[in-house]
Amino acid sequence: MGIYSTIGRGWQMGVVLLLLLASCKSTKIASDGTVDSKLTAKTIIRQHYQNQLEFKTISGKLKIEYSDGESAQGLSVSLRMEKDKAIWISAPLGLVKAYITPGRVSFYNKLQNEYFDGDFSYLSAILGTDLDFEQVQNLLLGQSIFDLTEGKYEAKINKDNYQLRPKKAVELFKILFQIEPKNFKMAAQRLSQPLKKRLLQVNYTNYQQVDKWILPNQIAVAAIDGEVRNTIDIEYRNIEFDQPLNFPYKIPKGFKEIVLNTDGL
């Protein structure tokens, strides 16, 4: 998939939360957390991918806060995932559950007696860009949503981070990545359509070390469409790796299906 062929359709309200990490083995550049002005964009990008993690499963808790500008909600959920295969999220008492695989996005809400069971068009509509399983997991775990090796970038220092911009401007879109220097994970990534007043902004507040793994501690996601602003704040808690997991999931009978209206996307 080309870096620019994945860029967006539309921007709508709603939230489904996904997690996963990709894996890679390689030699890493040691860093004390300070930027090195001598590093080229190619080196920064290479280290970003070389500093991905290797594991089989992840489990733990998520604290989630969501706001649409008029109302706000907070929720703690359980998380289970198997690398590249399945993501399972459950609210207390199973009131809300989500089950995501590379070919399926499914969730149900017992409070509203409704469910969605389909493909990634739902998430693409929410976040305003065509997404697949790998892109969503990268978005939420500190990796670039686009394949940085497929494009050419200019690197500069922005405060305490490395900043990457495409050398060739993308028509109607603006793309920016910031990579923190200690672990070469994303500090921020932004995709915007200025003429349509649309913005997807993801900020990674800090990172945590769990055993030998480095993963985000807090993530702030903002999706803006004109005057409408939706925000999602995520905090990871009690994360464990490589525990045996199962993924119980069944849509209750009698629930109303959520049908995604893609007109205008």
Residues near 27 by Cβ (< 8 Å), separated by ≥ 6? 50
Q: 3-class DSSP state for residue 45?
A: helix
Distance CA 120, CA 136 (A): 10
Closest by Cα among 249, 215, 261, 260 to 96: 249
Residue 56, CA atoms < 13 Å, CB-side half-sphere: 5
- Residue 24, pLDDT score: 27
pLDDT on residue 243: 94
What local confidence, expressed as pLDDT, does residue 16 receive?
41
At 93, give phi and psi (nearest 5°): 65, 15
Strand-pairing partners, residue 211, are none
Amino acid at 207: Y
pLDDT at 6: 33
**Tokens 């993501």, located at residue:** 87
What span, in angstroms and rounded, lies between the C-alpha atoms of 161 and 34? 8
**The predicted structure's pLDDT at residue 205:** 87
Task: Give the start-end residues of each E strand in 96-196.
Answer: 96-101, 104-109, 114-118, 153-158, 161-166, 174-179, 186-193
For residue 31, the model assigns a pLDDT of: 56
By three-state DSSP, how is residue 72 classified?
strand
As a whole number of angstroms, the distance between CA 37 and CA 33 comes to 13
Q: Are 153 and 45 in contact (CB under 8 A)?
A: yes
| Cα separation, 168 vs 33, whole angstroms | 29
Q: What is the CA radius of gyration of the chain?
A: 18
pTM: 0.78
Q: Please state, in angstroms and rounded to a whole number, the distance separating the CA atoms of residues 186 and 48.
A: 8
CA 20 to chain centre: 9
CA atoms within 13 A on the CB side of 26: 13
Check residue 12 and report its DSSP letter.
-
Torsion of CA 192, 230, 8, 159, to 10 degrees: 30
Per-residue pLDDT of the chain (265 residues; tens, 9 = 90+): 333 333 333 222 233 433 322 222 333 444 567 899 999 999 999 999 998 877 888 899 999 998 988 888 888 999 998 888 888 999 999 999 999 999 999 999 999 999 999 888 776 666 656 678 888 778 877 899 889 999 899 999 998 999 999 998 777 788 999 999 999 999 999 988 888 888 889 999 889 988 888 889 999 999 888 888 889 999 999 999 999 999 999 999 999 998 876 554 4
Say how far apart CA 179 and CA 182 lie, in whole Å.
9
